[in-house]
Structure 1
Amino acid sequence: MFTGKDAQSLASKIRELLGSRGAIGNLRVSKRAIEFDLFAEDTGELEERLKLLEKQISKRVTVKLLDKILRPMEKKEVLREGVNLFNEERYWESHELLEQAWQPARGVERDTVHGMILAAAALVHHQKDRDRVSLGMLERALAKLDGQEVYEGIDLGKLRADIRDIIEKGTPAELTIRRISQSAS
């Protein structure tokens, strides 16, 4: 099983395989997947690179095209899906989606959603073996999450406690956002 500490060596191996330093970017390692951005000039090049990855790396290559604009969703749906992505260690996607709830929000609600976004971004850095950056972002997330115990059924008290624990230990780790009611699920 790979960890964030393997991110640079994995990126080097994949770039070597694909024959281009610019072929991939933003490699992230979670317990469930190795995620990275794969760049191609056109569909033919993309398909060629995918076949090579399937042959040399894994038969299970899942492609998700991220060049599409996210469809507008209601706040509760954004939060539900954002938390689901977060809990699946798909922190980058969680961060991107939660911005839909953050942009129109104001006051404490805006800070709360921003805190969740910062936590997701911090864990993206952990997946890239940038733990010092991750810890700094978790400190910023903790400051933004101060103010409420529960937000839309999300247990912010538990999230803050878990973030504090990670900061005190000085070692980033995966987090789970716990729901305590059905209002956000």
Structure 2
Amino acid sequence: MKIVDIRKCKFTEIDIQDDPEKVIKKLGKPLEIVNTSEIKGNFASLFSDCRFWEAHEVLEEKWKINNNEMERKYLQALILICASMIKYLKGQKEISDKLLNQALSLISELPEDVLPFFYVRFCLNS
């Protein structure tokens, strides 16, 4: 059984590169099996459920196709916040802090008046 990563927050997430049945035999039936190519949910609900990897993936798809520099910075900041949370849950607090500082630096470069609009656009409507 090839386990890549384990994170515990609201749920225990186990990233594997193997047949899920092998993990199920050892640990029991999961609440959900997620294939990264089939992520369901929006950023806000995934983030609030501590499903930071999936939240990151949802935003990354939007970031890849966006040509607006300010929107890309905002999305990149949110992606970095997700990555920071992943590192924090893995006990890598120094890396988490570094990523969070990078996210805050990107957000600080944006005009304050656009932040609520970006929030609605990307967080509530994703």
Give the corresponding residue for 1:98: 59
- In structure 1, C-alpha distance between the alignment counterparts of 2:37 and 2:91, rounded to whole Å: 28
Unaligned runs of 5+ in 1: 1-19, 55-59, 72-79, 156-178
Question: What RMSD, in angstroms, separates the aligned Cα atoms of the two structures?
Answer: 2.6
Q: Does structure 1 conserve the Cα–Cα contact (< 8 Å) formed by 2:39 and 2:54?
A: no
Identity %: 25
Unaligned runs of 5+ in 2: none
- In structure 2, C-alpha distance between the alignment counterparts of 1:153 and 1:107, rounded to whole Å: 12
1:112 aligns with 2:74: yes
- In structure 2, C-alpha distance between the alignment counterparts of 1:70 and 1:61, rounded to whole Å: 16
Q: Does structure 2 conserve the Cα–Cα contact (< 8 Å) formed by 1:98 and 1:113?
A: yes
Q: How does 1:1-185 map to 2 (within 5 A)?
A: 20=1, 23-30=2-9, 32-40=10-18, 42=19, 46-54=20-28, 61-68=30-37, 81-105=42-66, 106-146=68-108, 147-149=110-112, 150-152=115-117, 154=119, 184=125
- In structure 1, C-alpha distance between the alignment counterparts of 2:71 and 2:13, rounded to whole Å: 30
Cα displacement (A) at 1:28: 1.1
Q: Given the two structures, how large is their TM-score scaled by the length of structure 1?
A: 0.56
Structure 1 residues 67 and 148: alpha-carbon distance in aligned structure 2, compared to 1, 3 A threshold: same
User: Per-residue CA shift, 1:45-85, capped at 9, x if unaligned?
Assistant: x324303211xxxxx622323253569xxxxxxxx811221
Cα displacement (A) at 1:95: 0.6
Q: Which has the higher contact order (CA 8 A, sep 6+)?
A: 2
Structure with bigger helix share is 2
SS at match of 1:145: helix
Cα displacement (A) at 1:24: 0.7
Q: Given the two structures, how large is their TM-score scaled by the length of structure 2?
A: 0.80
